[in-house]
Amino acid sequence: DIRRVESIFTPTQAQGISMADQASAYGDAGLWHDLISTLTAMRLENPEDAQAQMHWESVLDIVGLSALADEPLLQ
């Protein structure tokens, strides 16, 4: 089920908080696409970021896709 919802952040708010905090808020709000997009951007921006990898693995584990956690991201 895909539906359009209003952003949970104004553009100004989004600029003022970290991507990790944005991802967390998207997850709390159940906004799967935004959560995955943000986590992907975090991993592409800094592939060595242990926090981004931990969040990525956690989300994939929750949805039963933990086998994909170590697969490389395509750009």
pTM of the entire predicted model: 0.79
Residues 6+ away with beta carbon under 8 Å from 54: none
pLDDT by residue (tens digit) across 6-24? Answer: 888 877 887 889 888 999 9
Flag residues of the chain having pLDDT under 70.
none
Per-residue model confidence (pLDDT) at position 42:
92
**DSSP symbol at 72:** P
Task: In whole angstroms, give the CA distance from residue 38 to residue 23.
Answer: 6
